């Protein structure tokens, strides 16, 4: 049973209580899916409440994170209340978008894809000590896309310079890949909860390298 924490935080006239989190911690993200259960995006609790208010939420899954209390109904005398869960399914479907989706490349998601590990020396680093390396250098006709970039520590990247791994006599530890939409949502997430992670994993391809990472943690 999750313990509730009543607080005085008020947003747009609504009183919000967090569940299972320290008082005034409202940074947990809610995973939004379409009505078929396909992951779409992360939203904060304010956006989730708005979706409830405009009756776009079809059903919910996962843990209850927040209870948002509004005004008292003059006729019934009851206070309005919305329970925000960790996963909310909304009306509509975007399956065709997911099938053709190529996520935008950015270093934060790239480093998380590679577990903050240099793909040449195999050591893990903080983000500030990492860089984006083009396996086939741009100067040799390589592209700045997911299938040609890996995470590298600055030392290895400087050593490799404008060469391919073979030319630099360096071994590439993993083959780069383009994340699917569900994988990219995970890579963009902050403090992904266990039930959200389990939900997202079910939408990863069976051959996803990310499965191996989480199987090691299980």
Backbone angles phi, psi at 113, to 5 degrees: -55, -40
What is the model's pLDDT at position 96? 63
Among residues of the chain, what percentage have pLDDT more than 70?
84
Nearest Cα residue to 68 out of 57, 50, 53, 82 = 82
Distance of alpha carbon 138 from alpha carbon 206, whole angstroms: 31
Q: What is the pLDDT of residue 217?
A: 52
Mean pLDDT, the chain, integer: 85
pTM for the whole thing?
A: 0.80
Quick check: 26 pLDDT over 70? no
In sequence order, which residues have a C-beta less than 8 Å from that of residue 218 and are 6 or more positions away?
Answer: none
pLDDT digits (tens, 9 = 90+) for 111-146: 999 999 999 999 999 999 999 999 999 999 999 999
Least confident of 30-39, 49-58, 66-75, 80-89: 66-75
- Ordered by where they begin, the domains of the chain are 1-100+181-218 (no CATH), 107-160 (1.10.30.50)
How far the first Cα of the chain sits from its last, in Å, is 23
* pLDDT band (50, 70, 90) for residue 200: very high
- Is the pLDDT reported for residue 6 higher than 70? no
The enclosing H or E element of 108 equals helix 107-113
């Amino acid at each position: 049973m999750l313990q509730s924490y009543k607080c005085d935080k008020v947003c747009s006239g609504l009183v919000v209580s967090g569940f299972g989190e320290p008082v005034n911690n409202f940074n947990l993200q809610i995973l939004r899916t379409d009505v078929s259960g396909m992951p779409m995006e992360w939203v904060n609790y304010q956006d989730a409440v708005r979706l409830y208010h405009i009756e776009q939420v079809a059903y919910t899954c996962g843990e209850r994170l927040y209870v948002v209390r509004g005004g008292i109904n003059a006729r019934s005398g009851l206070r309005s209340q919305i329970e925000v869960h960790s996963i909310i399914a909304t009306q509509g479907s975007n399956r065709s978008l997911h099938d053709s989706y190529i996520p935008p490349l950015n270093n934060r998601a790239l480093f998380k894809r590679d577990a903050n590990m240099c793909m040449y020396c195999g050591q893990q680093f903080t983000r500030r000590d990492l860089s984006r390396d083009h396996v086939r250098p741009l100067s040799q006709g390589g592209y700045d896309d997911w299938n040609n970039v890996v995470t590298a520590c600055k030392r290895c990247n400087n050593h490799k310079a404008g060469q391919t791994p073979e030319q630099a006599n360096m071994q590439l530890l993993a083959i780069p890949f383009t994340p699917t939409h569900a994988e990219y949502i995970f890579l963009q997430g902050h403090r992904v909860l266990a039930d959200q992670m389990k939900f997202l994993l079910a939408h990863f391809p069976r051959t996803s390298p990310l499965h191996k990472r989480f199987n090691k943690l299980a």
